[in-house]
Structure 1
């Protein structure tokens, strides 16, 4: 009886919260919406009337053991086998316990953008496998899936119904008029915002933030919200624990506005979190908002919105430091970043299926630094994607390049220290406050795929190579091959990291001041027992680390985790080779 009363009390509190959230979202849209009924419908769609958990505020659903590998479902293929089965075989055989979570990029039927133009949210792309294969991966690893919430494919059944003017989806899409003032709209693309479409109700102009094959939803219609709640419930049933809200910053549109980061967008995220955390205690929302840093931080809300946010400023700033040999801008940024509250975390990455976003570096890197970075990456084979600014001018939006190639030299040109520079980048990222996400092609040291760019005519294809598993195994079994060296080196770092409480995503972090060629930070475990000083030589020459500069507690014994050697605290200094990282700790685990 007590358990029943607790459930009823939890549901009652949730319903009151949902009504308030729905009122905030829709009060200016339709005054006739019955928020009481709509909240009941959302609860039923999420099946919270059956099982409903009372969420615990500021609870961390992660630890130092969490590493997320980012991959497409067919990044590794083998003849006559389902790619999702091959992917699981690769993870089990080559990653083992080093990686406990996997982000499989959109694995649904799609028409373009390598999965981000979804035709059907409820099924798995047959060319990859099926829900059985997804569930098999979710059984052994924490599974992260995309919720492509801003738009869907123009070839979807929903959009077909929009064209026909009948059935589910006929009123799901946002339209505007070419006569409307759309000058303030912020977009990451140069294509026309509106797509002219002939429908049974006449000519409509459909809002397309990204491409004309990616038609934007109209969340002013509560039926769209209800459909996505059903999708979230399905993904939970299939084993998804981490939800990546793709392009969510653009979700709510409003004429005579920027149509990005609007208050209604934030409230929709908070509402979906309310439902999700009552359905699954340890489910996590990560918002993918490739926008300037200060705007990105707002998606934490007051620890009631995203559980984690993509740390989009890290890739351009870290890569800039390594190719210029100066950590000035990286250090300034790190010092300005607020520590994440318990219950929230940064999602750190330095490479992904997309490129190196430049908008998150705006205001952090000078125009000269940005231009130099773009030119350097172009010299290393990178492609540049552009956006249109508010004034109508083209501006670099993203650098498309494989990370291994991006770090094959400096602003002075290519050199022979690319491997060391590449490992250094990951050693820094693995040690920072937050949850590390590592791209499969970084684990494998994959290079630029120019053939795929030629075939697809898409810049982003340069870092979306598809490996033949038999050829990959041959490469990984050759200990002299750089693919094998990279994987072994990164796994060694990960295996060390996941044992260190001071590398908990929410462990204390302070930036060290060691000059511009030594980048360092201090981490302390939540129980304050373990300290780790991470110091990296980001230059191409040997550097002296003055041990006294670290203010080590001299009564403790100190060890260097990566080499496994004891540190002589009485020594005045230690020498760091070009791009060497040391992790100095007072506690061994």
Structure 2
């Protein structure tokens, strides 16, 4: 069974055993993490047996394991026992022999399933695999240094494998096939990816044979198994970078097969190509490491009707991952019974792409030839507990639901609303202590045979100021609830079992929202108990309304502080949730820009819903705007570009950050004048497009700075009083954040604690910098601005940007949002958004960056962020230079910009400490960056 030159040791001899322990001391003393026990079933010999699996072997293994556990914790033994799994499991003992063992029979059956385009061989062997001790692990692989062994298959299966994978008899040896992974799979990239995806999906520890990560070839003419043991192909130069020796002195020659030649297939070439197999394998490894279910999860097969599709679940604690693999060379369709997870959704792990919600019907999916999916089965909005499916309130002692809206019974409605409102994403006071919820206005609507009531609700808190919220409520019978329950479960207010139906948020009722849009087109007035809801149509909407029948009104799912309705993909009805007395800036600025007709890169204003009380107080309830077809918002477009930038950097190790200038914040205006060519090459197409965004921003500010008779938009000059107010405001915010930091510092991790110390040490720098605001009178105009400007507030059409949502920061009072400010405050908001984008792409929970690459990308992230700011500012200044809303002194503009960057970062620290303490490092770094450059 073994070669004559291999040593044959007598393990019965105590001196041999002592020597073996000495060898263990030597290798573990050198820092080795584990030992592979080659042909472990044959350690001992006994006359009259085949020397396989003798009890003496197991006794000696227990002795070795105890010696290692006592002297070398965290080291491991790996058993090479080419046996059926029910036999190989003996080498785990009771968790006191080998830590791991190769799962040999799985390997050939993976290849067999792929060639047969049938999942049965894989499922069959996995179902025969017994449970193992909790402290043990299977070691799984596709190829290794030996032949693809066919010992653990039937004679018929072995004959089949020879015919399909080793047509040339010279590729066969012993009971196996001496080929590497890529040649076995005809160098088909999709097959190679699928096989590795399967390897990484099964529970256990996957092992990659050297060279398979780049698709190395083999040479079975070399004899024995040497054809799969040729030198690793590192580079396209001498000896493939494996050795500096004379090429003819190598023990085995290099691969020079034209298809796998070392000058083409090597690490250097693939490292420089982000689309290479090497990079794909790196991403696969990185993704697998994030989810424990892949390595230690419990396996459960699904059995859809299509046998060409392998489907299984691997789950560990609350983590459940669905794996789908198309074993066919053709596209395949499959329907899965996922009703066990009804109401949850599938999140595709590679792109973090959400798939449709799971329902109590077969889940339909199509797969490309040799395609596969890794899906996380998750709740519909895991990152925000408040947005998860709400627990339904059941109404007891029912009356007719319409009675809730009569004066004597409104307290029952208030009770329902008090439990409903606090669970909604648009409720902005989750950290406040609720005192009362009071209905202050009810506006009835009649829709054919259905009634809807719009209600204004005053929410009072124990200490803070009251808030006003707007909702609409209707009743829906049980048999009509399916769409709401599956797509918008948060819209359910209460269950009314005696009436066999539910109270729902009518903003998710298509019939009602279409009616609101029609009301705007008709300039309707709807009476309430204490005032009137005025539906006002812009003149431009009159002709559009007559031409278009309002139908197909669907709520947009990606919502936060408001609820928006897509109407025919022509209009958007935005319904404000948190309301205030006074005109909403979103409506006010929308009307103004529409009347000026000088800025086209924002949705056209078509009308509004405004409530006017009997006392004449105005409350903005909603606005109707143009629908803008778009590819994505600016945030997602930016995240995608940063990911591509990081891939480009990682694929070009010859690039050195020291060879590139990175602009400091106080140099932005000068740097933006001329961007170096080599920076343009690295940033790519994103730079020119962000330049366009800068010009659009300046064009918006130019229109908002026009002289007008409307006092709400008349520009006002800077004054020394305003400069002092700005100084005092930033200084006060900084002090409050420092106090907030002190209260939470003990809960911060070590890295954020260190940043806190640096912030404290910059107190003097902060004061010195801030006093620059008071040194000279700044000659510029204050104007109405966007007020909450960031990448999420622009829509990307594929070649241009539209600016949306002029509400300002919803958390601030409406009167504060209407204050005239420096246009550079918007510029600073966008630049802080660039910083957040780089940091979240690098460190975020769903980051595509491998942990081992983070350190090498930190400085490149700063490079990308700061040059993106320069591109944006370059575009901005191409329009804004010499405009009245900027100073003619570039130094004054630089001081203002840095002050607003500082103000925004201070605000962000407060937000992160309250909501995401683990992210406080982002604005902290922003502050340190500004103060560091200003010294």
Distance 1:278 1:370, change over 3 A: same
1:158 aligned partner:
none
Distance 1:380 1:558, change over 3 A: farther
1:511 aligned partner:
301
1:549 aligned partner:
337
1:295 aligned partner:
87
| 1:376 positional shift | 1.8
| 1:254 positional shift | 0.5
| 1:272 positional shift | 0.4
Work out the CA distance in 2 between the residues paired with 1:301 and 1:335.
21
1:435 aligned partner:
205
Q: Among residues 530, 543, 557, which one is paired with 2:319 in the alignment?
A: 530
| 1:558 positional shift | 2.1
Is the 8 Å Cα contact of residues 536 and 582 (structure 1) preserved in structure 2?
Answer: yes
1:392 aligned partner:
none
Instruction: Give yes or no for the alignment of 1:378 onto 2:166.
Output: yes
Q: Among residues 428, 447, 471, which one is paired with 2:217 in the alignment?
A: 447
Q: Among residues 155, 168, 179, which one is paired with 1:367 in the alignment?
A: 155
Q: Among residues 212, 225, 231, which one is paired with 2:17 in the alignment?
A: 225
Q: Among residues 205, 220, 236, which one is paired with 2:28 in the alignment?
A: 236
Instruction: Give yes or no for the alignment of 1:579 onto 2:367.
Output: no
Is the 8 Å Cα contact of residues 407 and 421 (structure 1) preserved in structure 2?
Answer: yes
2:785 aligned partner:
none
2:329 aligned partner:
540
Work out the CA distance in 1 between the residues paired with 2:119 and 2:310.
6
Q: Among residues 344, 347, 367, which one is paired with 1:559 in the alignment?
A: 347
Q: TM-score, normalised by structure 1?
A: 0.56
Work out the CA distance in 2 between the residues paired with 1:565 and 1:381.
46
Work out the CA distance in 2 between the residues paired with 1:549 and 1:247.
43
Structure-to-structure mapping, 1:367-446, within 5 angstroms: 367-379=155-167, 383-386=171-174, 397-408=175-186, 418-446=188-216
| 1:299 positional shift | 1.1
Secondary structure, aligned partner of 2:176: strand
Is the 8 Å Cα contact of residues 312 and 360 (structure 1) preserved in structure 2?
Answer: yes
- The structure number with the bigger radius of gyration is 2
| 1:332 positional shift | 1.1
Count residues in correspondence: 350
Q: Among residues 460, 464, 469, which one is paired with 2:229 in the alignment?
A: 464
Deviations along 1:512-559, one digit per CA (max 9) or x if unpaired, are: 22342111221112xx2210011100111111121x424451332320
Is the 8 Å Cα contact of residues 510 and 521 (structure 1) preserved in structure 2?
Answer: yes
Is the 8 Å Cα contact of residues 337 and 363 (structure 2) preserved in structure 1?
Answer: no
Structure-to-structure mapping, 1:200-279, within 5 angstroms: 210-279=2-71
Work out the CA distance in 1 between the residues paired with 2:312 and 2:107.
17
Is the 8 Å Cα contact of residues 338 and 363 (structure 2) preserved in structure 1?
Answer: no
Distance 1:318 1:483, change over 3 A: farther
Is the 8 Å Cα contact of residues 293 and 321 (structure 2) preserved in structure 1?
Answer: yes
Is the 8 Å Cα contact of residues 533 and 584 (structure 1) preserved in structure 2?
Answer: yes
Is the 8 Å Cα contact of residues 234 and 267 (structure 2) preserved in structure 1?
Answer: no
2:312 aligned partner:
521
Secondary structure, aligned partner of 2:7: strand
RMSD: 2.4
1:54 aligned partner:
none
Work out the CA distance in 2 between the residues paired with 1:530 and 1:552.
14
Residue ranges of structure 2 left out of the alignment (5+ in a row):
242-262, 379-844, 847-935
Distance 1:468 1:577, change over 3 A: closer
Work out the CA distance in 1 between the residues paired with 2:170 and 2:218.
8
Work out the CA distance in 2 between the residues paired with 1:468 and 1:405.
16
Secondary structure, aligned partner of 1:441: coil
Distance 1:544 1:236, change over 3 A: same
Distance 1:552 1:380, change over 3 A: farther
Is the 8 Å Cα contact of residues 476 and 483 (structure 1) preserved in structure 2?
Answer: no
Distance 1:380 1:223, change over 3 A: same
Q: Among residues 481, 487, 505, which one is paired with 2:278 in the alignment?
A: 487
Instruction: Give yes or no for the alignment of 1:500 onto 2:291.
Output: yes
Report the more deviating stretch, 237-246 or 366-375. Answer: 366-375
Secondary structure, aligned partner of 2:158: helix
Is the 8 Å Cα contact of residues 102 and 138 (structure 2) preserved in structure 1?
Answer: yes
Deviations along 1:554-575, one digit per CA (max 9) or x if unpaired, are: 3323201124311113584121
Deviations along 1:7-63, one digit per CA (max 9) or x if unpaired, are: xxxxxxxxxxxxxxxxxxxxxxxxxxxxxxxxxxxxxxxxxxxxxxxxxxxxxxxxx
Is the 8 Å Cα contact of residues 382 and 406 (structure 1) preserved in structure 2?
Answer: no
| 1:586 positional shift | 2.7
Secondary structure, aligned partner of 2:296: coil
Is the 8 Å Cα contact of residues 335 and 510 (structure 1) preserved in structure 2?
Answer: no
1:356 aligned partner:
148
Work out the CA distance in 1 between the residues paired with 2:170 and 2:93.
35
Secondary structure, aligned partner of 2:144: coil
| 1:257 positional shift | 0.6
Residue ranges of structure 1 left out of the alignment (5+ in a row):
1-186, 188-209, 387-396, 409-416
Instruction: Give yes or no for the alignment of 1:325 onto 2:133.
Output: no
Is the 8 Å Cα contact of residues 404 and 418 (structure 1) preserved in structure 2?
Answer: yes
Is the 8 Å Cα contact of residues 385 and 398 (structure 1) preserved in structure 2?
Answer: yes
Deviations along 1:480-532, one digit per CA (max 9) or x if unpaired, are: 999972212211211110111222x322111222342111221112xx22100
Is the 8 Å Cα contact of residues 270 and 278 (structure 2) preserved in structure 1?
Answer: no
| 1:284 positional shift | 1.0
Secondary structure, aligned partner of 1:425: helix
Is the 8 Å Cα contact of residues 334 and 511 (structure 1) preserved in structure 2?
Answer: no
Work out the CA distance in 2 between the residues paired with 1:242 and 1:483.
33
Is the 8 Å Cα contact of residues 179 and 218 (structure 2) preserved in structure 1?
Answer: yes
Work out the CA distance in 2 between the residues paired with 1:290 and 1:357.
9
Q: TM-score, normalised by structure 2?
A: 0.36
Secondary structure, aligned partner of 2:4: coil
| 1:582 positional shift | 0.5
